[in-house]
A and B are shown apart, each in its own frame.
Chain A
Amino acid sequence: MTEEWPMRQLTHLRTDPPVGFAAQVLRAVGVPVGDDRVVLVEGPVGQVFVAYNDAGICHVAAAAVVDGDPDRFADRHRRRFGREVWPANEPPPGLLPALRTGRGSDLAYDLTSVSAFARAVLRAALLIPPGEVRSYGWVAREIGTPAATRAVGSALGRNPVPILVPCHRVVRSDGRIGDYAFGSAMKRNLLQLEGVPAATPQRWESADR
């Protein structure tokens, strides 16, 4: 039993406020917030809603999770960001090629809704090319906080722009697939489409080193 104990366990008690907390506060204090625009486009595993503003893409949701209903997406968006979202005629530049190739690293993102730590986690996830996977521990090491695997998992779980920022390419180091905002099945489909063989712990392990 080291002197470290229970310091590391204590760091695991750090907790983010519930999703939508910031939006609720902004509404309560009356800070005016701009509106966002949204498009419904074809993604790798079905259609996706993509919301964006002048700073960049801020919100992605699989159409399936809101039954393809733009109003339900708008509700979800309002709850999470406190902003209205209006239909746009044009997708933001670069979106369609990024969805086609699985490379979202050149797109502009508005990630002001998440903490600096979560932004670092998402930026690290953007480094994982299609067809490859990494472990939560890899991401933690990549951003210089090797002990923070739990916080990494939680930041990826709250990724506001999944699919484009490929949190699905982060899996458990024991080879199991791990959680996904749109369900483990969609995570598995995405990885299979990208050419990652299903349930190949060895391969995922080796990506970890």
Chain B
Amino acid sequence: MSNCADLAGRLAADVDGAFAELLAAHGSAVYTTALRVSRQPADAEDVAAETFARAYAALRGYPPERTRALRLRPWLVTITLNLWRNQARAADRRPTVVALDRAAEPPDPTSGPEQQALDVDDRARLAGLLVDLPEPQRVAVVLRHVVGMTHAEISTVMECPEGTVKSHISRALAALRTRLAVPATEVRHCKEVRS
């Protein structure tokens, strides 16, 4: 994100003028975070939209020097995670048991129909395993390997030292490997031979 500092500068100078750029630059990180940490992926779009609404309100109120100093991606993702936690807590208080809701995985346009079916299954399965991880592990591994954030950014978001972030991530990966290894080895083997 080489132009990140510039974008914060442009937002400091003119929120309305640069806000569309903020959406284009970080929409995917925010939406992916909301989609992949949640047991209710259907709510991801609302959480992501609310993230940007809060961000906009905050930026309107910040003095320019505060906006200029923002590290935009960790800042936005922190808002996303707070909104998601509030929503998850509210959902927990609801009397009915809410079923695990898995959003349909979009197909991969670069592969053929058979491969697509497999990929979509694989991704749905991996997404399903992610939400079963304990929260700190899930958040850390999603931010690192799905969203693509640095350890430093994640440590800001999770308010813990980088060492702790790394250990959450390696425990999450180990758990995913164990769970994926059991029945998936054959599927994976076939894939490797075919490709």
Contact = CB atoms under 8 A, between A and B. Distances in A.
Interface residues of A, number: 42
A22 B127 CA distance: 25
B52 A153 contact: no
A17 B24 contact: no
Interface of B, secondary structure class, is helix
Given A24-B49, A25-B52, A25-B53, A14 B146 contact: yes
A14 B28 contact: yes
B126 A21 contact: no
A169 to B, nearest CB: 14
Contacts of A89: none
Interface in A6-54: 6-7, 9-18, 21-22, 24-26, 28-29, 31-33
A7 B173 contact: yes
A10 B110 contact: no
B141 to A, nearest CB: 7
A156 interface: yes
B145 interface: yes
Contacts of B112: 172, 174, 176
B16 A31 contact: yes
A32 B146 contact: no
Contacts of A178: 109-110
Given A7-B173, A17-B48, A156 B109 contact: yes
Interface string B95-135: 00000000000101111100000010011001100100000
Given A13-B130, A14-B148, A116-B1, 16 more contacts: A10-B145, A11-B146, A11-B148, A12-B123, A15-B31, A15-B36, A15-B106, A17-B28, A17-B31, A21-B23, A29-B56, A29-B57, A31-B16, A136-B110, A154-B106, A179-B109
13 contacts: A1-B188, A7-B173, A10-B141, A15-B32, A15-B106, A17-B48, A21-B45, A25-B23, A31-B16, A112-B24, A116-B25, A172-B110, A174-B112
